[in-house]
Amino acid sequence: MSDTNQTIQKFYTKAISQDFARDINFRLLSLSLGGVTLGEDDLVYARSGRVPAREIVKVDVPYSGLTFKVPGTVVYPDADGYEIEFYCDEASSLRKMFEAASRRIFDEQTTTGNYDTPDRDNVLTIGQLDKDLNVISKYELIGAWVQKVGELEYQLAEGSGEVVNFKVTLSFQYFNESAT
């Protein structure tokens, strides 16, 4: 018989020793996108983001009337649509940086661009933080590029002075995780 000593006291003791991850303990640390480099001073306007998912593909192996489930390769479900939301600064300078990165990929004015496979220098680095704001896990999204720069929405007639936000959607190839 298994031990079912999972009591409130055990939960409380564990919670005290390990605490909980909080939804505010996340930061964009740096971003390099083919000529556009953003650091912590630029990325302070990040409003929300997430640590991307990693998934092992399930492979079905039929044999003698049974289907065995075995692990296969890895996929990154967020790789074709990793979204970050930003506060828009008054001059839209952060959004303009993302637009510039997008135009480096393809510029409709010249009908040219650099739509090569992004190299390893195109990296978004994000961090999970502890309650003292120390980075405890660092994720590098390798081969990142701007897929979409979202719109700015204004409320001319009924606005209350809310801060305008915009979203940026990136694609990436894979990510590396490291404890710091």
Q: Where are the beta strands (DSSP E) in 34-132?
A: 36-38, 46-48, 55-63, 66-75, 82-87, 123-129
What was the pLDDT predicted at 31?
Answer: 92
Cβ-proximal residues to 133 (8 Å cutoff; 6+ apart), any chain: 25
pLDDT above 70 as % of the chain? 98
Quickly state the pLDDT bin for 111 (edges 50, 70, 90). confident
C-beta atoms surrounding 62 within 10 Å = 8
**What SS3 class is residue 122?**
coil
User: What would the pLDDT profile of 114-164 be if each residue is shown by its tens digit?
Assistant: 877 888 889 999 999 999 999 999 999 999 999 999 999 998 888 899 999
User: What would the pLDDT profile of 28-51 be if each residue is shown by its tens digit?
Assistant: 999 998 778 888 888 889 999 999
Quickly state the pLDDT bin for 17 (edges 50, 70, 90). very high
72 φ/ψ sector (left φ>0, alpha ψ -120 to 50, else beta): beta
Query: How many angstroms separate the Cα of 43 from the Cα of each of 10, 112, 125, 149, 178?
Result: 40, 29, 11, 15, 21
CA 38 to chain centroid? 15
Helices (H), 108-180: none
What was the pLDDT predicted at 3?
Answer: 66
What was the pLDDT predicted at 134?
Answer: 93
Quickly state the pLDDT bin for 173 (edges 50, 70, 90). very high
Pair 169, 83: CB distance under 8 Å: yes
pLDDT value at 77 more than 70:
yes
pTM of the model: 0.85
